[in-house]
Amino acid sequence: MVSKFFGFGKSKQSGRSEQQAPAVSSASSSRSSPAPSISGEHDVNEDMVSQVTTSLQSSSIFSKGRHTIGTGTSSNLTDGSSLFDKGLGLTAIDENDSHGRSTVGKPLRVLDYERLTSLNPVIEEESVSMKEYNDDHSGLASGSGSGMGSGNVSTSANSTLSKHNAGLNSSRRSERHYSTTSLEVLENELKLLNENLVSLMDDIHQNVTNVSKAVIQAIEFFKKFLPDTNRVTYTVTMSNSLQLRSITKIVSHFVDNLLNASAFQNSRSILLKAYFSFLQKLNINVFEDQMDNIHTLPTMRNFAIDDKCALPNMDKISLIVDEIVRCDPSCISDQDGAFIAPVLRGLSRKSAILTVMFGLPNPQQEHHDMIKALFSTFPDLHFYCVKDYIKPCAEVLSGISPEMKAKPMETTKAPTFVPPFRVPIDAFSPPISLSISTQESQKMTGTLGGYLYPKIPKNDPKFAQFADATFAVTCAHVVLSENQDYPYVSAPSALLQNTYKNSLMEERQHYSITSPEYDGFNQELQRVESNLKWQSDHKFGQVVWGERSIVDKSLSDFAIIKVNPEFTCQNYLGDDINGLPDPALRFRNLYVTEKIENVKPGANVFKIGATSNYTTGKVNGTKLVYWADNRIQSNEFVISSPQPLFANAGDSGAWVLSKLDGKLGLGVAGILHSYDGELKQFGLFTPIQTILTRLQAVTGVEWDINPPPVASTTD
């Protein structure tokens, strides 16, 4: 699919406005060729989405053809036209257009042997104290200007670059001539660094040089950037400097695509250190979160696209995703679970650029070739491919149901035993976020999301029996994948309890029958078996409806469970949850009271799943697109922040929650149904309003997360 929507004609390429001539040229002339002005960035970027050659044949995820499901391969693009071109009114550039840059039949540039063979050895510099940098940075004098993009960089503080020309060696002085203003020096240094790195990357992609030599040269380029300057006194931002975004893109391409093998670990670390020092000079803080370890080198991370993102071409990313979703699935195929995720990526949120992440269960060489082909098409948009995939986040286990005399559910534990599931303090008032499964489940378990209430008048003859009913909600694949015939469910999960019981029985055999350890195992086994028998006699509820299907190009995966009237339920997290690091999640802030109908991009959210418990993240501003069930699907998703994990197997059905502004209580944004199974940093969810609207369409009754008000008993 990528080739189908990225396979349209090239146009202007920002950051490299002068086409690289294939003719022989000297090294110095290639370095000193003029670069576009920073102030002219808007014109350069105005048509970024029309830059990929129509002749590119790339077999990427979501490519054309239906012969590769689950095989790890894809068919080539045979149609030179693009639905994206037609949908957006973009036209291909003629091959003879002097402003285009065709990659077809283009000869290799003459190798600059002086630059590649006279490499200085990489010498470890004296370690920079990152703690010292973090402390000093907070007191930097920053300008009041908007940044580098429009040429109005702040000059409120005295420049520290006035000695730059005097410190240049003779070879560099012969190549460039600076005016006396420090701003011009900084702009030209950024341009020169970007030109050198872009040229170096061309050499790699055209097999002129190898990656190892290129890394050494790239590090040398960073060392030559303002060598006599510790930090500039200007404010430089990613949103206003095309050169800075392009440099960051090249470093990201090195780290994520060229140096991702373990053999390049040292090269990757040294390059990141040089890039980190470069950001230090530009006063870009990579320690935004005080919890970050300031004594270790930062690594590339993904961040959510939020409402504060001011990077150019945001609208183009959204249009690409929308066009992919509207594509006819009959002409598209790929590995099951493959996805495309637009995110921000960098050492920190302030140093991140727009990135398109391609996740595949089994990446092939052709997918890496696709990334290589896409690199030169967008000057400040990063692409990378990684082993990852979208899968439902229900946990698959096995268990056997026991038989035992019934006793009330017990919460006391034998010494040293902590069950891997949560047991409610009051068995007749189960809180939300408990583990859940069908009573006879042999493999599937998930999370109880919360409770829904139908708004039914008591005098309604058709639905009067449901007027005061409470319905639990979770994912359909949790409770309907094994039994479609209205199964009974258990909370906590009967499957988890049976699996725990079997593990206890196995471990008990390692001890003597007369030992105190054996007796301890017996006590815990009796407690678990008693709870299971009690659940069998007091059924929590029964599934009455559910679906896992595609509705309006998005996955609808939820089921409602009619709760036994002897249970009293409310949308309450419970005060027995351990390990909540947020001190605000206490008392009234443990109750879910409102629906969040329009989730703001970048909103802070959290979930409490049966497996991974409490995790936090930020809602991404652009949907994720993935291939599953033989069709394209799109979903809102959360990116974990700050910890590297948001969801795991067994968390399906958990509500995605957020604290309310200026009031007590929590808001529910949606229900978690899938995650990326390899990295576990994304959580896909269905908005709560979508679920309620779908329920109303199916049942003809309005639904809410709050119970209807109690009718007056006065005559």
Helix (H, G, I), strand (E, B) or coil at 464: helix
For 444, what's the count of Cα atoms within 13 Å in the CB-facing half-sphere? 18
Three-state SS letters, 586-604: CHHHHEEEEECCCCCCCCE
Which residues are part of the catalytic machinery? 477, 557, 652
Report the run of H or E that residue 673 belongs to, with start and end: strand 666-676
- Based on C-alpha coordinates, what's the Rg of the chain? 30
Distance CA 606, CA 639 (A): 11
Contact 616, 642 (CB under 8 A): yes
User: What's 262's DSSP letter?
Assistant: G
Lookup: tokens for 476: 């359909």
- What DSSP letter does each residue of 265-319 carry, written as one string? HHHHHHHHHHHHHHHHHTT--S--STTS-TTS----EEE---TT---TTHHHHHH
Element (H, E) at 559: strand 554-563
- In b/e form, how buried is each residue of 438-453, taking b as 16+ CB within 10 angstroms? bbebbebbbbbbbbbb
Cis bond before residue 298 (omega within 30° of 0): no
Is-contact 404 497, C-beta < 8 A? no
User: What residues are paired with 15 via a beta bridge?
Assistant: none
Q: Where are the beta strands (DSSP E) in 113-206?
A: none
Query: E strand or H helix at 188, and its extent?
Result: helix 182-205
CB 638 within 8 A of CB 619: yes
Measured CA to CA, the distance from residue 635 to residue 221 in angstroms comes to: 41
**CA dist., res. 35 & res. 627, Å (int):** 41
Answer whether 103's CB lies under 8 Å from 53's CB: yes
Single-letter amino acid, residue 205: H
Dist CA 349 CA 285 (whole Å): 9
DSSP bridge partners of 543: 561
Distance between start and end Cα atoms, the chain: 66
In the DSSP assignment, the letter for residue 254 is I
Instruction: In whole angstroms, give the CA distance from residue 202 to residue 222.
Output: 18
Measured in residues, the chain has a length of 715
The token pair that represents 489 in the structure block: 């469910």
Tokens at 179, concatenated: 């005016």
